[in-house]
Amino acid sequence: MPVAETGRRDGRVPPGMDLVTELSPLLAAEAAAEAAGTGVDAADLEQAVWLRLLEQRPSGATVPARWVRTAVRAEARRARRVRRRESPYGSAPAADPAPGPELSALTAERRRTLRAAVGRTPGNCPRLLTALLSPEDPTYREIAGELDISQGSLGPMRSRCLGCLRRMLAAEVAAPEHGGKER
């Protein structure tokens, strides 16, 4: 093999190089077929599968074509999931640098309403919700230490407290008239 193909001057084939030459056509074809449906570049899928091959080293002396097909499909599914979660920035106009007095007043009123509702929640909920709403953004470990409860009980307690808060705030908001339709 020439130097360009092997990457070595002595002409010896590095370990795994025969695997690369053997799997490249299959991988390219599979990646091209899957890329059309995912909206991802076929070369990106190929690269992800090569990386998966290096990281996982499938069992057996050779990598079967079935493993390559499965890996390409798995990477394509992962790419579709990532693509659904990510949304590109639109060409939105620049935000107003300073909000107007109306927005400031509405924001302050919402905060007062939320703080008042937090104060009316039962049990340890006010302390927990205050810690969760803290601008310092404490970790669960810090909140558990502050409230002197186990870290594992924070999640269920948080869920109960937020449900209670949600019900309180929903009761304070005026229900729309005429069968749920606003006019």
List the chain domain ranges: 3-85, 101-172
Q: What is the pLDDT of residue 176?
A: 54
DSSP state of 1: -
Architecture field, domain 101-172: Orthogonal Bundle (1.10)
pLDDT value of residue 63: 65
Structure confidence by residue, pLDDT tens digits, 17-30: 677 788 889 999 99
Global model pTM greater than 0.95? no
Q: Residue 8's pLDDT is what?
A: 46
Q: Quick one: pLDDT at residue 161?
A: 94
Instruction: Look at 128 and 59; give whichever has higher pLDDT.
Output: 128
Query: Which H or E run contains 72?
Result: helix 65-85
Q: Assign 37 a pLDDT band (cuts: 50, 70, 90).
A: confident
Distance CA 103, CA 154 (A): 34
The residues, ordered by sequence, that sit 6+ positions from 83 with a Cβ below 8 Å of its Cβ are 38, 39, 40
* Confidence band for 159, pLDDT divided at 50, 70 and 90: very high
Which position has the higher pLDDT, 176 or 8?
Answer: 176
Distance from C-alpha of 55 to C-alpha of 58, rounded to nearest angstrom: 9
The per-residue pLDDT for range 66-124, each reduced to its tens digit, is 888 899 999 999 988 888 887 777 776 666 677 788 988 998 998 898 899 999 999 99
More confident: 30 or 39: 30
DSSP collapsed to 3 states, 123-173: CCHHHHHHHHCCCCCCCHHHHHHHHCCCHHHHHHHHHHHHHHHHHHHHHHC
155-172: average pLDDT: 90
As a whole-number percent, the residues of the chain with pLDDT over 70 amount to: 78
